[in-house]
Amino acid sequence: MLAHNWQPFNIKTFQHSHPKTTTFALVTAKQRYFIELSYDGTNYHGWQIQPNATSVQEILNKSLSVVLREPIETTGCGRTDTGVHAREFFAHFDAEKSIDRPWTIERSENIVKSVNAILPKDIAIKKVFPVAENAHARFDATLRSYEYHIHFNKDPFKTGYSWELRDRLDIELMNKAAAVIMEHTDFSCFSKSNTQVKTNICKITRAEWVTGDSGIVFHISADRFLRNMVRAIVGTLIMVGKQEIKPEDVRAIIESKNRSKAGTSVPACGLYLAEVKY
């Protein structure tokens, strides 16, 4: 069930069955929009605006403000740390000025093209569409999925986008430990301290290592994630893969609620926000 009884408009579906000039929403003053984007996080200090550092949110706000000719402030579906990538990311914003024409597919495509023309090459807008005034990119998200990529042989085309690891890992043991993680909901041991969140409870619905042609990928999905959580989980599972600890030891680590008991956080370069569901 979607929160607030709204659903992001599927532009691809609409295009197959309607002409470009068809109106699908009458835009008024204080209209809320959703924007879908992707980005290479290498050159940014994460998504969220922060002093004395360049963020994806800062660059996006400036570009939208130029195109829409008014100050725009976006709210993201979450926050990614420095160097983390996003294949799929959503944000919402409110346009305060009235737009004196109906909202159409053509209008949406023109905004996408105009914003992309201003944005740097490592940030790309995919869609912009109007939503209900109470739709929220962060709070209405029901599922988020991350991937962590590891490769074992030197590859210049993977630099910055996957973590090169020389040690060979026991994937079967790592998946046994991943199954243990899914038995729990309190992940204090995998969270940065002093994050000021109300709860460290998360419901994980997938935690699995998959072997590929040139490496391995960890897939994890949950209703929410804590800061640094995925990278700390991966670091802990790698300890299992190296046989430094046993899969059942992960249970004791989680129950300890102590970050120092878990593994070291792995580098950000291999982490991707892969999917957000509403």
Pairing of strands 31-39, 143-151: unpaired
* Residue 138 belongs to some domain of the structure: no
Looking at the predicted structure, is the pLDDT value of residue 202 above 50? yes
Asked about 249 being catalytic, the answer comes back as: no
**Owning domain of residue 75:** 3-131
Percent of the chain with pLDDT over 90: 81
- Given 81, 140, 186, 213, the catalytic residue: 81
Total number of domains constituting the chain: 2
Return the CATH number at 26: 3.30.70.580
Same domain, 246 and 215: yes
**Range from 5-19, 49-63, 80-94, 257-271 carrying the lowest mean pLDDT:** 5-19
* Residue 193 belongs to some domain of the structure: yes
* Residue 136 belongs to some domain of the structure: no
Return the CATH number at 202: 3.30.70.660
Terminal-to-terminal C-alpha distance of the chain: 9
Give the pLDDT confidence of 222-259 residue by residue, as tens digits. Answer: 999 999 999 999 999 999 999 999 999 999 999 999 99
* Residue 226 belongs to some domain of the structure: yes
pLDDT bucket at 27, cuts 50 / 70 / 90: low
AA letter at 141: A
If one compares 99 and 218, the residue with the highest pLDDT of the two is 218
Give the pLDDT confidence of 65-107 residue by residue, as tens digits. Answer: 999 999 999 999 999 999 999 999 999 999 975 555 678 889 8
Give the pLDDT confidence of 28-54 residue by residue, as tens digits. Answer: 578 999 999 999 999 999 999 999 999
Tell me, what's the pLDDT at 141? 98
**Range from 104-113, 172-181, 199-208 carrying the lowest mean pLDDT:** 104-113
267/236 Cα distance (integer angstroms): 13
Tell me, what's the pLDDT at 103? 82
Tokens matching residue 220: 């994890």
Same domain, 73 and 48: yes
pTM over 0.85: yes
Same domain, 96 and 155: no
Q: For the chain, give the mean pLDDT.
A: 90
Q: What is the mean pLDDT of residues 186-209?
A: 91
Same domain, 115 and 160: no
* Residue 65 belongs to some domain of the structure: yes
Looking at the predicted structure, is the pLDDT value of residue 8 above 60? no
* Residue 40 belongs to some domain of the structure: yes
**Whose CA is closest to 175, among 218, 222, 120, 232?**
218
Give the pLDDT confidence of 115-125 residue by residue, as tens digits. Answer: 999 999 999 99
* Residue 22 belongs to some domain of the structure: yes
